[in-house]
Amino acid sequence: MLIWGAIGQSFCMAILTGVTWGSAHTDNKATPIVAAVFLFGFNTCFAFAYLGGSWLLQAELPPISVRAPSNALSTAGNWSFNFMVVMITPVAFENIDCYTYTIFAVINILMVPALYFLYPETAGRTLEELDDIFGQCDPWKPWEVVGIAKRHPRLSHPSQTASALAKARSLNEQGLLKPAPIGEHIEKMSSIQS
């Protein structure tokens, strides 16, 4: 989803560059409307891909042991870059006009190979699986993580879950499966409810 969002954002910014450049050279009343449509198109692509996606990835990818500090650092970086964009954009428009959109288009299109080669698909994976995947990757070779993720079995795949449940039922019926010990807090909870 992030890759398609980056492609959509880049496309919208490229169109915005052309439309705003064209509006300076022609007196066409449709160009501001087209510019507004593609500005909203950019916002829509951003909302579908990055508005929530960037917050999910920072919570899923770091190891559990450093997840909280990593989230704090990622959030600080997110807000810092947002602040930088807000401060730089007016200056860029003042100096390079519509080509400011070109900068954003290029940044977004450069995100496509970065996402493809450095970010594994996390859908359908548990946090423990992701820890294992990243644990197998050399920190000095981050491009290997996607290959590791593709080779790593999906432990939470529905067919594997169904197979594990069937095996557990079979072991239980044979009397080979012992119930797990119940913790004290569970016993207290059941006595409160009864």
Give tens-digit pLDDT for 115-134: 999 999 888 888 888 888 88
pLDDT in the model for residue 104:
96
Would residue 133 count as lying in a domain? Answer: yes
pLDDT in the model for residue 158:
62
pLDDT in the model for residue 184:
52
pLDDT tier, 192 (very low <50, low <70, confident <90, very high otherwise):
very low
- Determine how many CB atoms are found less than 10 A away from the CB of residue 44: 14
Are 13 and 90 found together in one domain?
A: yes
pLDDT in the model for residue 144:
93
pLDDT in the model for residue 61:
85
Are 8 and 88 found together in one domain?
A: yes
Are 75 and 85 found together in one domain?
A: yes
- CA–CA dist 107, 116 (Å, integer): 15
Are 60 and 131 found together in one domain?
A: no
pLDDT tier, 194 (very low <50, low <70, confident <90, very high otherwise):
very low
pTM: 0.74
Which of the two residues, 190 and 18, has the higher pLDDT score? 18
Are 157 and 114 found together in one domain?
A: no
Considering only CA atoms, which of 84, 108, 102, 76 is closest in space to residue 8? 108
Are 107 and 59 found together in one domain?
A: yes
Average pLDDT over residues 138-165: 81
38-97 pLDDT, tens digit each: 999 999 999 999 888 888 888 888 888 888 999 999 999 999 999 999 999 999 999 999
Are 102 and 131 found together in one domain?
A: no
Would residue 98 count as lying in a domain? Answer: yes
Tell me which of 29-33, 62-66, 81-85, 158-162 is least confident.
Answer: 158-162
End-to-end Cα distance, the chain: 48
- CA–CA dist 144, 60 (Å, integer): 18
Would residue 34 count as lying in a domain? Answer: yes
Range of the domain at 149: 121-165
Vertex 20: Cα angle to 16 and 25 (nearest 5) = 150
